[in-house]
Amino acid sequence: MPPRSYAPAKTRAALVAQVGHVLDAARSLGADALAGPSGLPNWDVHHLLVHIARQIEVIPRLVAEEVPGKPDLDLSAWARSTVTIADRLDEDTREAAAATGRTEAAARIADAAERLATVLDAAVDPDRLIRITLGTMRSTDFLVTRLVELVVHTDDLATATGLAIPLDKGALAAVVRLLADALADQAPGNSVEVRVPPYAAVQCVPGPRHTRGTPPNVVETDPRTWIRLATGRTTWAAALDAAAVSSSGERADLTAYLPVLG
């Protein structure tokens, strides 16, 4: 399927809003909460906040670099490739957390947000390129990857702390669509329709193609559950047991294709 495009102004607004929501949450956490489990392997909440800060901090640095040529990495390829750098990200986060005092994590996010504001005009330039470990991509697309990091880890933080942290609607929509498109690229076909109302509907999985009416294999779920499925926060079986996902048709089982994002 052709790559989906994301409007620069909407991407910018969603990024600013979600950074603000995370910062508000971080500032509200006390020492006991920071020392608590994050739900991610071997990370406490402090590790999680430092990781979030690093995902924001990287934007000004990369935007400042002049990158010639053409993009060779789209968003679906980025999503499917993140597993290859997961160990490195874990190591870097551990080192950064060890160097950041528990009371300093929120301040680090605040500083990152201030620096981000100074480069947003350049960052949303659709012709600007960003070079990351996995390849070269359009700057606006790179900002969408930061929305993925922010939305996924905002949900992690909310789950770990019990805080009701908002998810910006624009950010949520972008992340749902990116992960749905990545699934469709990973499992190309037309035998299953995956619906995540109101944001996305894609067809995927090899097999018979429907030509009219309701497809014979349909999966439907809500945005948060889809993000948790696509990122491995929950399993297909657990989501079915919790009635958080509905499926119909003999091919409507996505177990073999999840998670999308490593």
Same domain, 84 and 191: no
Tens-place pLDDT, residues 87-136 = 999 999 999 999 999 889 999 999 999 999 999 988 898 889 999 999 99
42 within domain boundaries = yes
3 within domain boundaries = no
Tens-place pLDDT, residues 128-183 = 999 999 999 999 999 999 999 999 999 999 999 999 999 999 999 999 999 999 99
CATH of the domain at 242: 3.30.1050.40
- Interhelix angle 105-123/45-63, rounded to 10 degrees, is 30
Same domain, 148 and 51: yes
Residue where a domain stops, chosen among 108, 142, 169? 169
CA distance 45 to 29: 9
Q: Measure Cα distances from 228 to 35, 169, 223 in Å.
A: 23, 17, 9
CATH of the domain at 86: 1.20.120.450
179 within domain boundaries = no
Predicted TM-score (pTM) of this structure: 0.95
Same domain, 68 and 106: yes
Residue where a domain stops, chosen among 169, 201, 235? 169
- Please check the confidence at residue 78 and state whether its pLDDT lies above 90: yes
Residue where a domain stops, chosen among 138, 169, 200? 169
**The pLDDT value given to residue 213:** 60
199 within domain boundaries = yes
Q: Measure Cα distances from 213 to 30, 47, 126, 200 in Å.
A: 54, 48, 38, 18
CB 20, CB 113: distance < 8 Å: yes
Same domain, 134 and 239: no
Nearest to 147 by CA among 14, 4, 24: 14
CB 262, CB 86: distance < 8 Å: yes
Tell me the backbone φ, ψ of residue 85, rounded to 5 degrees.
-115, 10
Residue 60: CB atoms within 10 A of its CB come to 18
- Domain tally for the chain? 2
CB 130, CB 139: distance < 8 Å: yes
**The pLDDT value given to residue 250:** 83
With residue 248 as reference, give the H or E element that holds it: strand 245-248
pLDDT band (50, 70, 90) for residue 212 = low
- Please check the confidence at residue 215 and state whether its pLDDT lies above 80: no
**The pLDDT value given to residue 13:** 96
Same domain, 249 and 141: no
**The pLDDT value given to residue 9:** 93
Same domain, 105 and 229: no
2 within domain boundaries = no
Same domain, 127 and 194: no
Domain of residue 21: give its range: 8-169
Structure tokens at 101: 């005092």
Same domain, 144 and 31: yes
